[in-house]
Structure 1
Amino acid sequence: MSTSQPSESAIQAHLGMLQNVVQRMASNSASCKTWCITIVSAIIVAVADKPNEKLLWIAAIPIPAFLLLDAYYLGLERGFRDSYNTFVSRYCSGTLRSEDVFCISPSKDVNWLRFEAFTSFSILGFYLPLAAIVAVVKAIIT
């Protein structure tokens, strides 16, 4: 087990990889919201145009699916951000070991991170109003 300090270039590379992972998770989360709104809108328009408005409940199906996926990405993003902050704290305090470099993983259990993400405003503040809009459109059309 080595306790030597890692090189500056290794530290920069490690932080760059963590930043890339965080950026990718944030991008995936934004894509979930974009795809969800696109699919729900398309279903609403397609069903509202047909004589059978009772099929409008189909528009609600993508909402929980994308909510779960979005919460997963947000949880991972938070975990990698925590991992980044822990790494920087260890570096600043002088307790960073060479084993810490290039160990890319979220700081907590992924299931717990996903559970925490469900309570986030970026999840509930997007998917609950979208579900309410589908319910209002169904009430107006039927």
Structure 2
Amino acid sequence: MFYIKTMPNNVSHWIEKNKDYLVKQTEMLQSAIARMANNSLEVKKVGITVWAAIVGFGFTNRSAALFVLAFVAFSLFGVLDVYYLYLERKFRDNFNRLTRILSGYIVPEDQEWIEKVKGNFLKPDNSTKFLGQIPNTLKSWANLPYLITFLITILLLVVPLPASP
């Protein structure tokens, strides 16, 4: 992919005319990215807390069904976290495009994108492809708590509970 240093006059004129607006858009994108990252962290915290409570209750009642419930509940929190990570990546893509445009290094796709969003750079695309991101997301170090928790839950389901005294 190559970058075009000189933009057509209509786009470069539009960028110069709206430079303050575009800078504000980048600041709002940074804020949205920070919120998505914070939401992802909060979902992880709440998910692990709910999981620990259900697993603790499962040990108290010696019920394998509660371990399955803990696994399902934590999986649902995981899907919500994947959604926040997906949105964060989309906002990062928009931020990267906008900074590239502001710096004068524009690619042909950027011109199409400018026309498509019509000045609203904060809106990610309408696709619902975030479930397809689950394999990529699981490779991230940010999701290590999920992988460890899933492994612990599977071990709790496989290994029989000790007999009560």
Give the shorter-chain TM-score range. 0.7 to 0.9
The one-letter code matched in structure 2 to 1:116 is Q
For residue 12 of structure 1, report the CA deviation from its aligned partner.
Answer: 2.6
What is the identity percentage for the equivalent residue pairs of Structure 1 and Structure 2? 22
**Which residue of 2 is the match for residue 43 of structure 1?**
54
**Which residue of 2 is the match for residue 135 of structure 1?**
154
- Length-normalised TM-score, structure 2: 0.71
Structure 2 distance, partners of 1:20, 1:87, is 14
**Which residue of 1 is the match for residue 64 of structure 2?**
54
Structure 2 distance, partners of 1:19, 1:89, is 15
The one-letter code matched in structure 2 to 1:127 is Y
In our comparison, the structure showing a higher alpha carbon Rg is 2
Structure 2 distance, partners of 1:125, 1:24, is 21
User: Of residues 59, 69, 74 in structure 2, which corresponds to 1:63?
Assistant: 74
Report the 3-state secondary structure (helix = DSSP H, G, I; strand = E; otherwise coil) of the residue aligned with 1:104: coil
- Length-normalised TM-score, structure 1: 0.80
1:30 aligns with 2:13: no
For residue 23 of structure 1, report the CA deviation from its aligned partner.
Answer: 0.6
Q: What are structure 1's unaligned runs of at least 5 residues?
A: none
The 3 A distance-change label for structure 1 pair 34 and 6 is: farther
Structure 2 distance, partners of 1:130, 1:70, is 15
The one-letter code matched in structure 1 to 2:46 is W
Report the 3-state secondary structure (helix = DSSP H, G, I; strand = E; otherwise coil) of the residue aligned with 2:128: helix
